[in-house]
Amino acid sequence: LGADLTIVETLAHARAAEQAFPGVEVVVDVGGTDVKVLRLRRGRPVTFHLSSQCAAGHGAFLATAAAELGVPMHAYADRALAASRSAEFAVGCAIFLDTDRVTFQRDGRTVDEILAGRARALHRNVWELVVGEAPGRLGRSFLLSGGVHRNAAATLAHVRYLHEHVPGARVVVHPYPELCGAIGAALEI
């Protein structure tokens, strides 16, 4: 393509976040294979948290759950949001979360309850396992990105979590969450 610019992924996400939500303080990127949480100051990362092996694969774990439960991914959010209650997954790696799923199935929890529980477990893993500190310590304005935030159930649970832990927080979803990094790289060219 003739591009001679190399940009680090964290900088690309910061650039796209600042363009979409000027003054944003925290970018939470939950993709299929990793989680990145960036603390920004004047549009530039000052600190970041990146998932380790145990906390990786969050996005994939939603898709895998849907497939294992016989639910097309496009129906995930509707099914999860229709649940009258959700299964309470432990915080941990995808393998332990899948063990919980099997246990919930054996105990008679409905597919919708399991999908809702998986969506709710995601944000807890981000903040308790990947970041390890309260979201309010990083900022009060949050931009959610990554393909996981295309799932309305996961996004709604994440927004509720942030509002519960950071009263008055401003939370937005990037207009193209799954393309945030690519958009940031393009903006730098």
**Strand pairing report for 141-145 and 44-50:** unpaired
Closest to 49 in 3D by CA, of 125, 112, 102: 125
**pLDDT by residue (tens digit) across 16-48?**
999 999 999 999 999 877 889 999 999 999 999
Considering the chain, what percentage of its residues have pLDDT values greater than 90? 62
Looking at residue 62, what is its pLDDT?
83
Looking at residue 91, what is its pLDDT?
74
Q: Which residues pair with 45 in a beta bridge?
A: 40
Rounded Cα gap, residues 74 and 48, in angstroms: 31
**pLDDT by residue (tens digit) across 145-176?**
999 999 999 999 999 999 999 999 999 999 99
Closest to 60 in 3D by CA, of 93, 38, 83: 93
CB 180 within 8 A of CB 28: no
| DSSP 8-state secondary structure symbol assigned to residue 107 | T
Residue range 60-67: average pLDDT? 83
Is the model more confident about 113 or about 61?
A: 113
**pLDDT by residue (tens digit) across 109-129?**
999 999 999 888 888 888 988
Looking at residue 108, what is its pLDDT?
93
Cβ neighbours around 137 below 10 Å, total? 11
Return the axis-axis angle of helices 152-165 and 111-124, rounded to nearest 10°.
50
| DSSP 8-state secondary structure symbol assigned to residue 48 | E
Looking at residue 152, what is its pLDDT?
93
Looking at residue 4, what is its pLDDT?
65
Residue range 8-22: average pLDDT? 93
Looking at residue 57, what is its pLDDT?
63
